[in-house]
Amino acid sequence: MPGETILVVEDNERNRKLIRVLLRVHRYRILEASTADEALTILENTCPDLILMDIQLPEMDGLTLTRIIREQHELKDVPIIALTAYAMKGDQEKFLVSGCNGYISKPIDTREFPHVIEQFLTRSSEDV
């Protein structure tokens, strides 16, 4: 839905730009972080409707960050979608165990992407 806030945690500027463009078309409000620290700073003051989480980040990786986010009571139900270049078997399991709700593989399928986002946003609002 337009106006919903999505936090994008992604260190690659090109990917961030692509995601920004795709999300803007659907009028989401976008917050961006390129490191785990930046994400945590944003999350001190904001509870986004969804988080897109790159797994490979400098310093703290995306799965560790996801676990930290899940420990925070007010953020425990925010949908987190992992962004990953890995296509290895068993990875999905690892993401789910860490607290992610699903994943999107890179390179991002620009047609599929908005539908996946919408699905997760709808699912989480139905739970409430």
Contact set with Mn ion (CB under 5 A): 11, 54, 56
CA dihedral of residues 75, 91, 20, 80 (deg, nearest 10): -10
121's CB contacts (< 8 A; 6+ apart) are 1, 4, 49, 50, 79
Between 13 and 109, CB nearer to Mn ion: 13
Q: Closer CB to Mn ion, residue 56 or residue 124?
A: 56
Residue nearest to Mn ion (CB): 56
Of 61 and 118, which has the nearer Cβ to Mn ion? Answer: 61
Distance in Å, CB of 77 to Mn ion, minimum = 25
Q: How many CA atoms lie within 13 A of 94 on its CB side?
A: 13
Q: In this complex, which beta carbon is closest to Mn ion, that of residue 4 or of residue 36?
A: 36
Q: What are phi and psi of 31, to 5 degrees?
A: -115, 140
Task: State the Cα–Cα distance between residues 1 and 18, nearest whole angstrom.
Answer: 19
State in angstroms the smallest separation of the CB of 51 from Mn ion. 15
Which tokens go with 28? 């989401």
